[in-house]
Amino acid sequence: MGPVPLSLLLSLCLALFSASAGSTGEDEYTWPQRKVPLLRSRRTVRLGSSSFSAEQQGGLQSTCGIECQRNLAEPSLVMLENMLSYETLYENGTRTLTTIALHQAADPTHLPTNSSSLRSRRKRAVYGLDTRFTIANKQYSLKYPFSTSVKISTGCSGVLLSPRHVLTAAHCVHNGLDYLKGTRKLSVGILRDQSRRRKGKRGKGGKRRRGKEAREVSGGDEHGEEKKRERKSKGRRNRSRRSAETGPPSFRWTRVRQTQVPKGWFKDVGDGTRADYDYAVLELKRAQKSQHMDLGIIPSVTKLPAGRIHFSGFDDDRPGNLVYRFCSVSEESNELLYQYCDAKPGSSGAGVYVRLKEPGKRKWKRKVIGVFSGHQQVELNGAQQDYNVAVRITPPKFAQICYWVYGDSSQCQTT
């Protein structure tokens, strides 16, 4: 599917939203207020190599599926603290391991129960008719919420959580054994307006001064020859200017200062491995002016009107363009969201979001409720079922990501 005007997208979404709103109560459109546990750092030690538990397990070869998950005991507080302990990789190559303490909130529902399934990343799937929308025109791709989407130099996507922080998938920077090649020089691409950059380099009257033309202004004697060259290149500049004003924007790349990954993102559970914590946060060296998107927690996506989620990323089969999609969640567990949103390689790490009304206000707000992870085949009642999967943001994950962004999880309470 080719480029689609944002006005058409908004009209379509509004029509679908209105259709489901007619038969549903208003409370279902409001962000729920959840108690979030407080996360505190216990100890930070320097590492010589990665301390991930998967280091001795042989990588992503054996995956704990639904039947395996049903036999797992509910994680204890000690186990949860171990999984939420995290590694930090700095741009100079040094690594640290930070152990954490999780202080439970008064609401006992803040801790997850057993997840019902796990993923094995084999491919990214398009199911039937490709329903993705290419946001090719910068008039739309540079505006919120599309402007929060970023590209990771390892080939994935991500979403801005603050002017300096990007949320992405852990497997975009780590393979379960060690950090991916190039992670030390990791960069994040932010969409920019190329035409503004061009205009900023022009002289009086909007004309660019370069070479002999500049010397002409200062008294050079090659006025005629320079004018001929100017006339020949005028058409090319005009075409280039029109392309910059209407075509896809370019990227402004920013280096990553540090990368943080939960220690339990890839964990051995005896009958296989689980990766319910497939997320990471990248801290940028330079703050961005683009608007970011806040985190949110949804107890059950399938109980929302139409159970619909949205996300945008930089799919490899549409290079240079931002790709948007939305769909309804088919199944969910305590840790994962199963859906048929069409996707291709490059979209992993994109922020999955929904739009709800803020409590006690008329204002609607989009928030990130998950991270797109990729394709999974799961066993259900003896049969293999294909899904595209997202890691959902739970209260403990919310507390950890908030701690990484702000240094204090108490600043991120949802109540």
Cα 116 to Cα 20: distance, rounded to the nearest angstrom: 28
Confidence of residue 125 (pLDDT cuts 50, 70, 90): low
Q: Is the pLDDT of residue 101 over 80?
A: yes
Q: Quick one: how far is CA 232 from the chain centroid?
A: 45
Q: Using an 8 Å Cβ cutoff, are 277 and 397 in contact?
A: yes
Strand, coil or helix: what is 135? strand
pLDDT of 239 over the 70 cut:
no
23: three-class secondary structure by DSSP: coil
Query: Quick count: other Cβ atoms within 10 Å of Cβ 33?
Result: 12
Q: Is 356 helix (H, G, I), strand (E, B) or coil?
A: strand
Which residues are bridge partners to 268 per DSSP? 273
pLDDT, residue 213, reads 43
Q: What is the rounded average pLDDT of the residues 344-363?
A: 88
User: Of all residues in the chain, what percent carry a pLDDT higher than 70?
Assistant: 64
The answer to whether 340 and 323 have CB atoms below 8 angstroms apart is no
pLDDT in tens, 206-216: 454 444 444 44
Q: What is the pLDDT of residues 261-273, one digit of tens each?
A: 998 887 655 555 5
Measure the CA–CA gap between 63 and 57, rounded to whole angstroms.
Answer: 11
At residue 20 the predicted structure's pLDDT band, cuts being 50, 70 and 90, is very low
pLDDT, residue 56, reads: 39
pLDDT for the residue numbered 85: 94
- Residue 285: pLDDT band by 50, 70, 90 thresholds? very high
Question: Which of 206-220, 310-324, 376-390 tops mean pLDDT?
Answer: 310-324
Residue-level pLDDT at 16:
44
Q: What is the rounded average pLDDT of the residues 161-181?
A: 92
Angle at 234 between CA 233 and CA 238, to 5 degrees: 120
Whether pLDDT at 371 is above 80 = yes
pLDDT recorded at residue 241: 52
Q: Pick the residue with more confidence: 235 or 21?
A: 235
Q: Which amino acid is at 408?
A: D
Residue 301: pLDDT band (50, 70, 90) is confident
* Cα 409 from Cα 405, distance rounded (Å): 9
324 pairs with which residues across the strands? 133, 312
13's CB contacts (< 8 A; 6+ apart) are 326
> Highest mean pLDDT: which of 104-113, 212-221, 329-338?
329-338
The residue that leads in pLDDT, 253 or 265, is 253
Confidence tier at 117 by pLDDT (50, 70, 90): very low
Cα(59)–Cα(177) distance, integer angstroms: 6
| Residue 357 pLDDT grade (very low, low, confident, very high; cuts 50, 70, 90) | confident
Q: Name residue 41's beta-bridge partners.
A: 100
* Structure confidence by residue, pLDDT tens digits, 65-87: 445 555 566 778 888 898 899 99
pLDDT of res. 52: 66
What's the pLDDT score for residue 324? 93
pTM: 0.77
Give me the pLDDT at residue 368, please. Answer: 96
Residue 34 CA to residue 51 CA, distance in Å, equals 32
Q: CB under 8 Å to 236, separation ≥6 — which residues?
A: none
Region 335-344: mean pLDDT is 85
State the pLDDT at residue 228: 61
Please say if the pLDDT value at position 30 is more than 50.
yes
What is the number of other CB atoms lying within 10 angstroms of the CB of residue 62?
Answer: 15
Both tokens assigned to 64: 């704990």
CA 369 – CA 391 distance, rounded (Å) = 9
CATH fit for domain 6-193+249-412, picks 1.10.3720.10, 2.40.160.20, 1.20.140.10, 2.40.10.10: 2.40.10.10
